Amino acid sequence: MLLDLARQRKILFFGGKGGVGKTTVSAATALARANEGAKVLLVSTDPAHNLGHLFDRKIGSRPVRITAGLDALELDPEETVDMHLKEVTSALHQLMPVTQHKEIDKHMTLSRDAPGMQEAAILERIAEVVETGLNDYDLIVFDTAPSGHTARLMVLPEMMSAWTEGLIKQREKADRFAEFVRELGRDSSMEDKTFGGEQDEEKQKESKIRQILLRRRRKFSDLRDTLANTDLTSFVIVLAAERLPVLETIELHEKLAHSGIQVECLVVNKRTPAEGADFLRDRHAQEAVHLELLDKKLPKVPRQEVELIARDVVGLEALEAFVEKLS
């Protein structure tokens, strides 16, 4: 079921509580599609650099080849924040008078550690990866950090659009005010050639600023459209059949639905086998109790179970073996 979804979509997001198997299941899905001949890009948005641990090798912020058809990259939050701050600073420099630049720089240095900064920066990189990746790959698989982060990431495009929208409006107001002041000065003797030249320069600057803001807004609203396009994008929640992961899944599903993102698959990972010693059977039965809540609360979301296996999944070979568990 998960693989069918991966065959039908171009972008898959994997979210869920910490440690449930997001990285393992998303990487296995990506590998399964690559084995079928698709060109796949696997992207980690988690600052904890999970993919490197999984493949037991260094993976950076540019795509590296894992195996035929499968590339991977880890979005680097520090690097991303640097790039993001540089861009925002330069946009603000252009927006504000030179006398304010020092103040802006100070503010931006402080913003580095502000709440949400990493997420905003990562979101911007996700937008870029989606934009270029859709041309170069058949499928982009995002392995995200634990739930809270993912849900916030998904509502950010709207917030960011609103933010840039506000700036554009502010700018337009300032432009109208400047125009008004210019109009006032018109019948005085100021309308000489120099003034006209300055005016042109000012107009050019204004349109450049507006372009920057509009481009930014477009980036986020494009991403928002792509995420909400169910023909293109799907969201998968990975969970364990335990009380808290089940409750968090219901919560995450609700949050995502609220921001117009449909969850099309639940992967119940590390499911205890039903056969074997009494202990395993008891455990399996206990898990079934928790899963009943999903039947009740999310009856329409397709569900797939992946069994608990004896060993950790580390390295390409182990992941190849894990792929078998998905079908």
Ligand X SMILES: Nc1ncnc2c1ncn2[C@@H]1O[C@H](COP(=O)(O)OP(=O)(O)OP(=O)(O)O)[C@@H](O)[C@H]1O
Residues that bind ligand X (CB under 6 A): 18-24, 46, 50, 146, 269-270, 306, 308-309, 312-313
- Please identify, using beta-carbon distances, which residue of 53 and 208 lies nearer to ligand X: 53
What is the C-alpha to C-alpha distance for residues 20 and 306, in angstroms, rounded to an integer?
11
Q: Which does 233 bind (CB under 5 to 8 A by kind): Mg ion, ligand X, none?
A: none
CB 289 to ligand X: min, Å: 20
CB 37 to ligand X: min, Å: 25
Residue type, 180: F
Per CB under 5 A, does 269 bind Mg ion?
no
What is the C-alpha to C-alpha distance for residues 15 and 151, in angstroms, rounded to an integer?
9
Q: What is the DSSP letter of 277?
A: S
Per CB under 5 A, does 144 bind Mg ion?
no
Q: Which does 234 bind (CB under 5 to 8 A by kind): ligand X, Mg ion, none?
A: none
Per CB under 5 A, does 45 bind Mg ion?
no
CB 127 to Mg ion: min, Å: 21
CB 238 to Mg ion: min, Å: 9
Q: Which does 31 bind (CB under 5 to 8 A by kind): ligand X, Mg ion, none?
A: none
CB 112 to Mg ion: min, Å: 25
- Please identify, using beta-carbon distances, which residue of 114 and 314 lies nearer to Mg ion: 314
Q: Alpha helices, DSSP H only, in 137-192?
A: 147-185
CB 219 to Mg ion: min, Å: 26
CB 124 to ligand X: min, Å: 22
Q: Which residues contact 66 (CB under 8 A, 6 or more apart)?
A: 31, 42, 55, 72, 316
CB atoms within 10 A of CB 279: 9
Helix (H/G/I), strand (E/B), else coil: 210: helix
Residue type, 271: R
- Please identify, using beta-carbon distances, which residue of 250 and 308 lies nearer to ligand X: 308
What is the C-alpha to C-alpha distance for residues 168 and 279, in angstroms, rounded to an integer?
62
Query: What values do phi and psi take at 36, rounded to 5?
Result: -85, 0
Per CB under 5 A, does 50 bind Mg ion?
yes
CB atoms within 10 A of CB 154: 24
Residue type, 277: A
Per CB under 5 A, does 23 bind Mg ion?
yes
Per CB under 5 A, does 161 bind Mg ion?
no
Per CB under 5 A, does 118 bind Mg ion?
no
CB 246 within 8 A of CB 239: yes
Q: Which does 278 bind (CB under 5 to 8 A by kind): Mg ion, ligand X, none?
A: none
Sign of CA pseudo-dihedral 126, 129, 133, 134: positive
Binding site for Mg ion (CB under 5 A): 22-23, 50
